[in-house]
Amino acid sequence: MYASYFFEVSANSAYKTIQEIREKEKLHLLELEKLSVTDQLTGLRNRRYFDDNFAIEHQKIKRYNNKLCLILIDIDHFKRINDEYGHQVGDIVLKEFSELLSKNIRATDLLSRWGGEEFIILLPETSLENSMGIAEKIHTVINEYSFSNIGDLTASFGVSKVDPNSKSNIESFYQVDTALYQAKNQGRNRVVAYENKT
């Protein structure tokens, strides 16, 4: 009888231990998955996550004829901030900038760090006109904000509508990047929409 009781207690303990190990393993895998799609500095989604979600949204607009837009944002003269104040201050600015962007987009939008001092927003079911309004609002918020250690900074914005008939993601990214380039070329600190000249 004692042996049977001992075996039952041991079996229960072993079962609980196995369950705890499985739970820890599951949490660890979830954490690894989150890390693989998160920018470590800003906590935003990374480019890989963005690319995967863009592909899904692009398929939706092809199938359902929905609207889809992109906003590409670049902090103006960011290299100067790093050179003048150091990379630690530059990192603080990137974090604050990310938080500012996060607070000024809709729950349905996807914000990601595109690389360096560039950020991209995916706006499902949003017209170019409405996307321009969102970009202008964010532009104003940035211009009115005082960043830690440096005070003011500006940013340039490119906005584009995603063509459902585009052959690849590269075409869509080229268009929004072209709009951003035009914003910089026109003196920075502005919002410019992509215009198809064909």
Catalytic position from the list 33, 84, 99, 117: 117
CB 92 within 8 A of CB 108: no
Q: Choose among 77, 80, 93: nearest CA to 151.
A: 93
Is residue 117 part of the annotated active site? The answer reads: yes
DSSP 190: S
In DSSP notation, 88-140 reads: HHHHHHHHHHHHHHHHTS-TT-EEEEEETTEEEEEEET--HHHHHHHHHHHHH
Return d(Cα 117, Cα 57) in angstroms, integer: 24
The strand pairing partners of 73, in sequence order, are 119, 157
How far lies 128's CA from each of 83, 155, 162, 195, in Å? 36, 19, 9, 11
CB 157 within 8 A of CB 190: yes
DSSP 7: H
The residues annotated as belonging to the active site are 117
